Amino acid sequence: MPEMDRRSLLKMGAAAIAGTVIGNGVTLYTSPARAEEGGGPPGAAATNALEIPSKGKARWGMVIDNNKCTAQCTACTAACRTENNVPLFGDERYDGHWIRKVTLTPERGGPEKHLPLLCNHCDQPPCQHVCPVAATFTRHDGIVMIDKHRCIGCRYCMIACPYKARTFVFKETSEWTNKDVPKRAHGVVEKCTFCAHLIDQGKIPACVEACNKSGEGAMIFGDLNNPGSAIVKYIRAVATKGIREDLGLEPKVSYTGI
């Protein structure tokens, strides 16, 4: 639980007056006032609660502070596997990856970078454009999802995605520890959902929670439509960049320091 300062208390009061209730145990969260006071870039604050969208609809996005992300840490990927039962078959050809850690080595030499890759939930999602049966769709809050009951398993979306964010279920798996997410059957494509099932309960995605708790606190998740949200403040204060922005897909995940 973040330390309450005057601002967040005020905001909380305002939200309460507006009658915004999003569920049990949900606390409001604002970025630490540190940024405004100290003048440095605001950091990600450890919280497991989701910000309430200010007004109108939310547009969930993520910023990853690549300078904090370390080589050994696997908090986000492990949490994702647990939360979404993403299977490992012990064969890199078929392993599912909703979020994965990669190492970048500059071609002209220099220090390595480590960062997680996940679905960028593009505003212009090529996977959705190419899906022949409209099984991939964008939720009203900008999350790109797959209707697994409609997916025919043609894998055109995997061809179209430049981020390799999608994996196909190549064989049957019995892994189903978290019953909050649907059981998977082979023959359809899957990918990161930004933990939509958690967002709908007013919680933040499992990877972000894990990064805050046992990782380096490198991930900020929030509403890109809310000018008061921590993520928007961060993006305004620090230079961030999406992967392959030149492709024009308008990804909603961006990075500091790539």
Residue ranges binding other proteins (CB under 8 A): 92-97, 100-108, 113, 117, 126, 129-135, 150-156, 158-164, 167-172, 186-189, 243-244, 247, 258
Query: Do 136 and 157 touch, CB atoms closer than 8 A?
Result: yes
**In the bound complex, what is the minimum distance in angstroms from residue 189's beta carbon to other proteins?**
8
**In the bound complex, what is the minimum distance in angstroms from residue 96's beta carbon to other proteins?**
8
For 190-251, the DSSP string reads E---TTHHHHTTTB--HHHHHHHHTS-S-EEEEETT-TTSHHHHHHHHS--B-TTGGG----
In our burial notation (b when 16+ CB lie closer than 10 A, e otherwise), range 26-50 reads: bebbbbbeebeeeeeebbbbebbbb
Distance CA 60, CA 222 (A): 6
Nearer to other proteins, 27 or 137 (CB): 137
Nearer to other proteins, 6 or 149 (CB): 149
Nearer to other proteins, 11 or 81 (CB): 81
**In the bound complex, what is the minimum distance in angstroms from residue 153's beta carbon to other proteins?**
2
Q: Which of helix, strand or coil describes residue 210?
A: helix
Nearer to other proteins, 162 or 228 (CB): 162
**In the bound complex, what is the minimum distance in angstroms from residue 241's beta carbon to other proteins?**
11
**In the bound complex, what is the minimum distance in angstroms from residue 181's beta carbon to other proteins?**
19
Nearer to other proteins, 76 or 169 (CB): 169
Distance CA 87, CA 90 (A): 9
**In the bound complex, what is the minimum distance in angstroms from residue 114's beta carbon to other proteins?**
10
**In the bound complex, what is the minimum distance in angstroms from residue 155's beta carbon to other proteins?**
4
Query: Do 195 and 219 touch, CB atoms closer than 8 A?
Result: no
Distance CA 199, CA 52 (A): 10
Nearer to other proteins, 78 or 237 (CB): 78
In our burial notation (b when 16+ CB lie closer than 10 A, e otherwise), range 172-208 reads: ebeeeeeeebeebeeebbbbbbbbbbbbeebbbbbbb
Nearer to other proteins, 41 or 187 (CB): 187
> Among 195, 180, 203, which Cα is nearest to 80's?
195
Strand partners, 146: 136
